[in-house]
């Protein structure tokens, strides 16, 4: 039987635990599963004793001792110091060995490409920003060279490499690892990116939509410390999308394309959208729409090198758009009231979209991030929270937390890499449950 690719295996994953700590099983012949459960428990706890692992997983102390010994032998876990629980005696603490495994994360954005190397703790060890050629075959060769460069200059042995994760604007065919026809990336139509990069590097490659990758980054590197186990993630890039994390697990959707929110109407008197409605998120909130609006109000002179100054539909216009949007945000922060009002109004519209999403999902925590978020957060954060608290149907049931990710602009690259570590190291459903076959990965 054909071995499923890493993309196929991940798309068939079905994690349904209500607790962030998964339960082990004391049946025989389930060593790999229990090993993953123990490892996942250690990772989430940060530092923990064997007794606590046994308590949290339901595994016998003998099973835990055996699994921890195997994990130490394989370099994934190390003993370090002691922990004391309640009035008990101090116990030897175990924790992840950050150098036990590495992964590469690639974020392919319309305006730039980021390649990072992270360790098991989710820390960035090294990064590179390659200039990719327009031709996708040449671009894949350049990506393979960059990966090789990062591994070489950091002395990472092949046996400690988990693989490569790629974050890319949707829509994606996540099962086949194929880039379909993303609106903001020209030259990447129907490209078998995961397959071709796997052939070039000899490493497993996993590809997913950028917002889903950002959710992985937030759950893995953020460990739910600020966000809890259930939250919405708002991705503020050249496009705007949302992701959902439930019980600490990222929801990918049926085909890996969850989060398309461009046609939520947030301003009924707004400009016409190609979908037939007026005032959708796609025509009132993203950087392209805001720059067009600023031009209309005379805040920017019409650019001379762009044929249609209000178009920005060509990839050649992206550097100009990027520069114009940054300038708009800087002027707003510098005290230009017209620019500030324009962003505040946009924040109000995003607040309305977020209200619809939190009400639909019954979520009380929203985390913002993505490539353009650092330019917006000072103006957006309070305004979105105000709108949410005023308009949500659920405002009498619970409070809302609106947060800014602490992972910065690299969050999607971190997430793509951590999806590899997550796939490699955390358990799927227990043996006998529906879901993936770990031996096939
Ligand atoms: Zn629309």
Lowest mean pLDDT of 32-46, 254-268, 296-310, name the range. Answer: 296-310
* pLDDT digit string, tens, across residues 157-196: 888 999 999 999 888 888 888 888 877 677 788 899 999 9
| pLDDT surpasses 70 at 290 | yes
> What is the helix (H) or strand (E) element at residue 6, kind and residue range?
helix 6-11
Residue 238 CA to ligand 1 center (angstroms) comes to 16
Cα 413–Cα 416–Cα 418 angle in degrees, nearest 5: 105
Higher confidence at residue 154 or residue 302?
154
Lowest mean pLDDT of 4-8, 135-139, 262-266, name the range. Answer: 4-8
Residue 54 CA to ligand 1 center (angstroms) comes to 52
Average pLDDT over residues 373-394: 96
Lowest mean pLDDT of 68-77, 349-358, 431-440, name the range. Answer: 431-440
Residue 271 CA to ligand 1 center (angstroms) comes to 10
Give pLDDT, residue 317: 74
Could you tell me what percent of the chain has a pLDDT over 70?
A: 85
What does the alpha-carbon distance between residue 177 and residue 190 come to, in Å, rounded to a whole number? Answer: 10
What does the alpha-carbon distance between residue 24 and residue 223 come to, in Å, rounded to a whole number? Answer: 20
Residue 135 CA to ligand 1 center (angstroms) comes to 31
Higher confidence at residue 305 or residue 433?
305
CB 328 within 8 A of CB 320: no
What does the alpha-carbon distance between residue 241 and residue 243 come to, in Å, rounded to a whole number? Answer: 7
Could you tell me what percent of the chain has a pLDDT over 90?
A: 57
Residue 403 CA to ligand 1 center (angstroms) comes to 27
Average pLDDT over residues 77-85: 85
Give pLDDT, residue 32: 73
Residue 297 CA to ligand 1 center (angstroms) comes to 22
Residue 266 CA to ligand 1 center (angstroms) comes to 10
* pLDDT digit string, tens, across residues 94-148: 999 999 999 999 999 887 899 999 998 888 999 999 998 888 899 999 999 999 9
CB 52 within 8 A of CB 21: no
Residue 270 CA to ligand 1 center (angstroms) comes to 11
Residue 280 CA to ligand 1 center (angstroms) comes to 5
Residue 263 CA to ligand 1 center (angstroms) comes to 4
316 confidence band (pLDDT: 50, 70, 90) = low
What does the alpha-carbon distance between residue 371 and residue 262 come to, in Å, rounded to a whole number? Answer: 17
Residue 353 CA to ligand 1 center (angstroms) comes to 13
Residue 50 CA to ligand 1 center (angstroms) comes to 54
Q: How many CB atoms lie within 10 A of CB 281?
A: 26
- Mean pLDDT in the chain? 85
Tokens for 414?
A: 């971190």
Residue 269 CA to ligand 1 center (angstroms) comes to 13
Give pLDDT, residue 16: 38
**SS3 (DSSP) at 15:** coil
Owner of token pair 């305006």: 111
Residue 322 CA to ligand 1 center (angstroms) comes to 22
Residue 304 CA to ligand 1 center (angstroms) comes to 29
In 3D space, the residue among 66, 40, 51, 52 whose CA is nearest the CA of residue 120 turns out to be 40
433 confidence band (pLDDT: 50, 70, 90) = very low
Residue 288 CA to ligand 1 center (angstroms) comes to 14
Residue 188 CA to ligand 1 center (angstroms) comes to 24
Domains of the chain: 6-98 (1.10.10.10), 100-220+412-420 (3.30.420.40), 231-406 (3.30.420.40)
Residue 279 CA to ligand 1 center (angstroms) comes to 7
Residue 354 CA to ligand 1 center (angstroms) comes to 16
Residue 365 CA to ligand 1 center (angstroms) comes to 26
91 confidence band (pLDDT: 50, 70, 90) = confident
127 burial level (CB within 10 Å; 0-12, 13-18, 19+): middle
Q: What are phi and psi of 302, to 5 degrees?
A: -65, 130
Residue 283 CA to ligand 1 center (angstroms) comes to 7
Lowest mean pLDDT of 31-35, 49-53, 240-244, 303-307, name the range. Answer: 303-307
79 confidence band (pLDDT: 50, 70, 90) = very high
Give pLDDT, residue 7: 67
| pLDDT surpasses 50 at 363 | yes
């Amino acid at each position: 039987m054909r071995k499923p690719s890493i993309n196929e295996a991940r798309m068939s994953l079905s994690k349904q635990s209500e607790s962030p700590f998964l339960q082990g099983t004391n049946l025989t012949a389930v060593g790999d599963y229990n090993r993953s459960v123990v490892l996942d428990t250690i990772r989430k706890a940060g530092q923990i004793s064997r007794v606590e692992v046994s308590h949290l997983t339901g595994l016998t102390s003998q099973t835990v001792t055996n699994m921890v010994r195997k994990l130490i032998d394989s370099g994934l876990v190390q003993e370090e110091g002691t922990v004391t629980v309640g009035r008990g005696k101090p116990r030897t603490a175990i924790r992840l060995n950050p150098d036990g495994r590495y992964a590469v994360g690639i974020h392919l954005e319309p305006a730039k490409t980021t390649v990072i190397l992270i360790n098991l703790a989710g820390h960035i060890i090294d990064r590179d920003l390659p200039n990719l050629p327009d031709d996708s075959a040449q671009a894949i060769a350049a990506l393979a060279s960059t990966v090789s460069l990062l591994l070489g200059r950091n002395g990472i042995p092949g046996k400690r490499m988990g693989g490569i994760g790629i974050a890319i604007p949707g829509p994606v065919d996540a099962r086949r690892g194929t880039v379909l026809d993303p609106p903001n990336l020209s030259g990447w139509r129907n490209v078998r990116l995961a397959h071709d990069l796997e052939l070039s590097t000899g490493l497993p490659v996993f590809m997913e939509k950028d917002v889903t990758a950002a959710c992985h980054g937030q759950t893995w590197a953020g460990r739910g410390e600020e966000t809890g186990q259930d939250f919405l993630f708002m991705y503020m890039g050249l496009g705007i999308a949302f992701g959902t994390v439930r019980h600490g697990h990222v929801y990918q959707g049926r085909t890996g394309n969850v989060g398309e929110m461009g046609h939520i109407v947030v301003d009924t008197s707004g400009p016409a959208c190609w979908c037939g409605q007026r005032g959708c998120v796609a025509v009132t909130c993203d950087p392209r729409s805001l720059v067009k609006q600023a031009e209309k109000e005379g805040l920017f002179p019409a650019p001379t090198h762009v044929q249609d100054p209000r178009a920005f539909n060509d990839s050649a216009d992206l550097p100009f758009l990027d520069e114009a949007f940054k300038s708009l945000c800087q002027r707003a922060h510098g005290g230009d009231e017209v620019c500030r009002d324009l962003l505040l109004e946009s924040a109000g519209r995003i607040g309305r979209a977020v209200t619809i999403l939190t009400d639909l999902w019954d979520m009380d925590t929203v985390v913002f991030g993505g490539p353009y978020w650092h330019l917006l957060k000072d103006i957006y954060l309070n305004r979105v929270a105000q709108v949410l608290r005023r308009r949500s149907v659920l405002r009498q049931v619970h409070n809302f937390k609106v947060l800014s990710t602490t992972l910065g602009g690299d969050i999607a690259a971190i997430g793509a890499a951590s999806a590899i570590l997550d796939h490699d190291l955390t358990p799927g459903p227990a043996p006998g449950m529906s879901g993936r076959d770990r031996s096939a990965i």
